[in-house]
């Protein structure tokens, strides 16, 4: 994986947001969002990783930036679990670097859109053993959430902001809601916001994210 883009704050960094793009996009995809959020969070460092370019089975083997291969869409997404682990461990490594730099895990947030959101879910609730400042899950699902999975007390303490479009034609609304419901059943502190949109990001959503981050970092 190539080096992530890092947006340093105007003052000394006391928080960090790691934000993963979706399938076929790149690390520049959420740059305008990160820049906008940073204006109201002057102490937050933003890290925008880049997924490796590799063949994606459901797209006829065409190579594109992908956090993991998707082999089939139905009845549920069949994915390359090893690649999902690999991507989540990359995020875990970025978290550990920030902790080593002096930013506590309680002030580190991981966000992801679509496939990137699946990776941050997997990071926070499977691969990372501690408690984070929070997870922001945009238009996404959680392939690792299923019966028999039990979160640790530390993982359950990580709050989550779920954001989804009611007209999402790529990651269907019930898929996002199922991830929320799994975490709710485990006792995770959650907020759910939905919008009359498809598989996209709208300004109202960014405002809700900004408010949630400001409250968590207050």
Catalytic sites, residue numbers: 114, 168, 199
Element (H, E) at 17: strand 15-20
* Secondary structure (3-state) at 139: coil
CA dihedral angle for residue 103, residue 88, residue 109, residue 171, rounded to 10 degrees: 170
CA gap 27, 110 in Å, rounded: 14
Element (H, E) at 20: strand 15-20
In contact, 58 and 70? CB cutoff 8 Å: yes
DSSP string, 62-122: EEEE-SS-EEE-SSS-EE-HHHHHHHHHHHHHHHHHHHHTT--GGGEEEEEETHHHHHHHH
Element (H, E) at 190: strand 190-195
Classify residue 44 by its DSSP letter: E
**Phi, psi of 64, deg, nearest 5:** -160, 165
Angle (CA) 178-19-165 rounded to 5° is: 40
């Amino acid at each position: 994986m190539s080096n992530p883009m890092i947006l340093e704050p105007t003052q000394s960094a006391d928080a960090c947001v790691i934000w993963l793009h979706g399938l076929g996009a790149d690390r520049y995809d959420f740059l305008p969002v990160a820049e906008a959020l940073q204006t109201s969070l002057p102490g937050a460092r933003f890290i925008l990783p880049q997924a490796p370019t590799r063949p994606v089975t459901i797209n006829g083997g065409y190579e594109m930036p992908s956090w993991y291969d998707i082999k089939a869409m139905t009845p549920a997404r069949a994915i390359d679990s090893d690649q999902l682990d690999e991507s989540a461990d990359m995020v875990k490594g970025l978290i550990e670097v920030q902790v080593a730099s002096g930013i506590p895990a309680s002030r580190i947030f991981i966000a992801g859109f679509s496939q990137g959101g699946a990776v941050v879910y997997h990071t926070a609730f499977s691969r990372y053993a501690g408690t984070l400042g929070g997870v922001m899950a945009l238009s996404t699902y959680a392939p690792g959430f299923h019966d028999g999975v039990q979160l640790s007390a530390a993982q359950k303490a990580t709050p989550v902001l779920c954001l989804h479009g009611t007209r999402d034609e790529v990651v269907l609304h019930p898929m996002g809601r199922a991830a929320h419901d799994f975490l709710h059943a485990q006792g995770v502190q959650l907020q759910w916001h939905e919008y009359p949109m498809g598989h996209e990001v709208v300004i109202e959503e960014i405002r809700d994210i900004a408010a949630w981050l400001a409250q968590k970092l207050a």
